Amino acid sequence: MSYLDAASSAPLHPVARQALMASLDEGWADPARLYREGRRARMLLDAAREAAAEAVGCRPDELVFTSSGTRAVHSGIAGALAGRRRVGRHLIVSAVEHSSVLHSAEVHQADGGSVTEVPVLRSGAVTVEAYAEALRPDTALACLQSANHEVGTEQPVAGVAEVCRAAGVPLLVDAAQSLGWGRVEGDWSLLTASAHKWGGPSGVGVLVVRKGVRFAAQGPVDERESGRAAGFENIPAIVAAAASLRAVRAEAAQEAARLRELTERIRARVPRLVPDVEVVGDPERRLPGVVTFSCLYVDGETLLHELDRAGFSVSSGSSCTSSTLTPSHVLKAMGVLSEGNVRVSLPPGTPQEDVERFLEVLPGAVAGVREKLGAPVAEAVVRDDALVVDSLGKRCPIPVIELAKVIGDVPVGGLVRVLSDDEAARLDIPAWCEMRGQEYVGEEPADRGSAYVVRRLS
């Protein structure tokens, strides 16, 4: 079995395993106590904090360990907003942030605060100018991920940090996906990360608050971790997290170059091996081991099951792999195809043979899924000089498949109206038009769902 989903969670690094086992015997006592066992536990905790701070590029007393990366995000946003409440209650986030950031934004808005969501380019990146325009006199905090978790696009953190600093606004950076590869550049104010993303154990997050940043921890006050992370520290896991971070950083430069070559191979060959594929994300400014593509006329969940049976563990941002049955907010914000979406994220050490075997298996898997989904016959009628395709009650990619079947039945310049009540169609039909060189006219109300109007150009 080839595990190719490191962006969700990286396999435990051998150094993390060794440090975890060793510290289980030494780090079990209360580090707040003055007796020998407590002092030993405190020494382990302090050493881990110093190692993590060195990797981040901050002072040890600016860094605390939390119970997860999500907890670090929630605590960091809530504390920064509370600390700057006198300035205002305006929060800025990008449209492609991790759900932990967006959920915090929703809570803030429900509590009476205001939120500006900065749009992204088709590559998934924000622009510095868009963040600069979003800043207001009452802006309390801005948030920006260092790299996107679904498509791997790296964000212009340094530039955004510069305009935020000039406006006197702190910038919180979610560095969960990138910290294992290197420090986050720029004059940021707060930073969060998660150990299981770089090969450490799960259940360890990092929250950094720079000196001088107004911060008021929310919730009951706890004397541990500077009052910013309540509860008894999981010292063995923290020690393992810090040890693995140091280890992956030592390997990062060489491994990044190797993984970039492998992902570039996937980016270049998948469109040649599989028809009607869109490779998404920035082709240059991206994480070393992440490549994401979407396949037309493919159900994402079915494709992932086929690849799983073939021995590959990959993930997807497609609507069909989510219990919400709605398109990935990242793909939606980018305006790219969501159906048949596959994210391949290579863990450090991935052998070249696994990538070659994946490229051998993928075309057959996609073709098999397309064959299964190609059976539905489009229900089309001519109405008001337009061909109407009734796809009500059918989930994507079926509405797109039915559109593709009938587009040739109308003359050049003619219209097709696709009736659909699947939320994913709002994203996938315009993306299909972009890929196939047809004109997406727009969305119209219908008795049920919506009518998506397409003009044939070729």
> Which among 96, 57, 52, 98 is positioned nearest to 77, based on CA atoms?
98
- Tell me, yes or no, if 295 is annotated catalytic: no
Looking at 295, 320, 396, 433, which residue is catalytic? 320
Angle (CA) 342-344-350 rounded to 5° is: 160
Quote the DSSP letter at residue 183. P
Separation of alpha carbons 325 and 338, rounded Å: 12
Which two structure tokens, joined as six digits, stand for 200? 């450490």
Q: H-type helices in 135-213, by residue range? A: 157-166
**Could you tell me the pTM of the whole model?**
0.89
| Contacts of residue 141, Cβ cutoff 8 Å, sequence gap at least 6 | 77, 80, 81, 84, 91, 92, 169, 170, 171, 172
Separation of alpha carbons 233 and 442, rounded Å: 54
Helix (H) or strand (E) holding 2: strand 2-3
Rounded to the nearest 10 degrees, the angle between the axes of helix 235-273 and helix 352-373 is 60
The alpha carbon of 407 is separated from its chain's Cα centroid by a whole number of angstroms, namely: 34
- Indicate the SS3 state at residue 235: helix
Residue 362 phi, psi dihedral angles, 5° rounding = -55, -50
CA distances to 37, 61, 151, 305 from 7, in Å? 37, 29, 10, 19
Which two structure tokens, joined as six digits, stand for 143? 């948030």
pLDDT per residue as tens, the chain (458 positions): 899 999 999 999 999 999 999 999 989 999 989 999 999 999 999 999 999 999 999 999 999 999 999 999 999 999 999 999 999 999 999 999 999 999 999 999 999 999 999 999 999 999 999 999 999 999 999 999 999 999 999 999 999 999 999 999 999 999 999 999 999 999 999 999 999 999 999 999 999 999 999 999 998 878 788 878 888 899 999 999 999 999 999 999 999 999 999 999 999 999 999 988 999 999 999 999 999 999 988 888 889 999 999 999 999 875 444 444 567 899 999 989 888 899 999 999 999 999 999 999 999 999 999 888 763 344 455 555 678 899 898 888 889 988 988 888 889 888 999 999 988 888 899 988 988 899 999 998 888 889 999 999 98
SS3 sequence of 346-409: CCCCCCHHHHHHHHHHHHHHHHHHHHHHCCCCCCEEEECCEEEEECCCCCCCHHHHHHHHHHHH
Which two structure tokens, joined as six digits, stand for 82? 């509370």
